[in-house]
Amino acid sequence: MHLTTHNPRVAFQGERGAFSEEAVFTLLGASAKPSPSATFESTFAALDGGRVDYALVPLENTLAGSIHRTYDLLLESKFHIIAEVIIPVVHNLIGCRGATLADVKIVQSHPVALSQCLRFFEQHPDIHRRNAEDTAGSVREVLEKGDPTVAAIAARRAAELYGGSILLEHLEDDPENYTRFVLLSPEPNETPDANKLSLATKLKHQPGALHSALGIFAKHKVNLSKIESRPLKGSPWEYRFYLDLEVGTATLMREVLREFQGLADETRVLGWYRAAQSPSNAELNSR
């Protein structure tokens, strides 16, 4: 992946210390300059307005599934996926300095984070859950108030950034908890090692359209690694499909696209980029 700047400014949704910020540094290194945004909409707006060079957004989580809002915003924009990164989601219980697990009566975090730590709450029935807008923001708020009876669930980075204490590690119910993020750019950035193709398509509204489209991939021995449907606004009971394909060469990519477009009313290439490698279990356990 070739970046247009050595110190890229990258918009992400959340506060400093969020899993999204961790993904920025994992993908782009320590020279990246993360730029927090309150919402997914403002993340896209920052890139559209030229205030940042790139935006990094989550597309899916292995437990929670697809993040539909980012898929919809991606289609509404003209941005291109130029890279992806997959990070393990390790939930930590973070409290004030000097606090202990026995002190904690309330734990706050994003609802998805809370829902991924149900075993912890079953083991501690006296601890109450509180929904918040953001994991890292929950840590900041806990430490600002300085109440040892309130803790937050978030990434280790949030504890380090805001000066909190990790009271308990690995609260997540399932160790196979990963989030896939994509890096968005105003311009495409095809590289010789690209091997993954992301498409958005509206197939012809006729019997067998999806079957015929999938047959093209089988014919060329192309693996369909993801398929997602989203309702078409203004067209009840019609859908747009998002596809991720493992396509090893540019020549094969062009051939598959040529045949596929003949079966679709419209097709948009969202990105042609290098597929990310999932972190190993060893890396997960070391965090």
- What's the rounded Cα separation, in Å, for the pair 81 and 185? 7
At 6, is the pLDDT very low, low, confident or very high (cuts 50, 70, 90)?
A: confident
Give long-range contacts, CB 8 A cutoff, 24+ apart: 45-50: 46/11, 47/11, 47/77, 47/79, 47/184, 47/186, 48/77
pTM summary value:
0.90
Place of tokens 């957004």: 57
Q: Quick one: how far is CA 143 from the chain centroid? A: 26
- Among the options 43, 70, 135, 179, which is catalytic? 179
Residue 282: per-residue pLDDT: 41
3-state DSSP call for residue 232? coil
What's the mean pLDDT in 164-178? 95
**C-beta atoms surrounding 217 within 10 Å:** 18
- The pLDDT score that the predictor gives to residue 281 is 44
Strand order in the sheet with 165-168: 128-131, 106-109, 150-154, 92-95, 165-168
Spans of all domains in the chain: 9-88+177-189, 92-168, 196-273
What lies within 8 Å, CB to CB, of 175 at 6+ separation is 281, 284, 285
Give the pLDDT mean for 103-124: 96
* Maximum CA extent, the chain: 65
Say yes or no: do domains 9-88+177-189 and 92-168 share a fold.
yes
The total number of residues shown for the chain amounts to 287
**Residue 79 near residue 55 (C-beta atoms within 8 A):** yes
Residue 280 confidence class, pLDDT cut points 50, 70, 90: low
pLDDT by residue (tens digit) across 240-278? 999 999 998 889 999 999 999 888 889 999 999 999 987
Please, what is the Cα angle at 45 between 52 and 156, to 5 degrees?
65
Q: Which residue is catalytic, options 44, 181, 217, 260?
A: 181
Structural fold of domain 9-88+177-189: D-Maltodextrin-Binding Protein; domain 2 (3.40.190)
What is the chain's alpha carbon radius of gyration, rounded to the nearest angstrom? 21
- Annotation says 179 is catalytic: yes
12: annotated active-site residue: no
CATH topology for 196-273 is Alpha-Beta Plaits (3.30.70)
Least confident stretch, 191-195, 196-200, 223-227: 191-195
Cβ of 189: how many Cβ atoms within 10 Å? 19
Pick the CATH number of 92-168 from 2.40.340.10, 3.40.190.10, 3.30.70.20, 3.20.19.10: 3.40.190.10
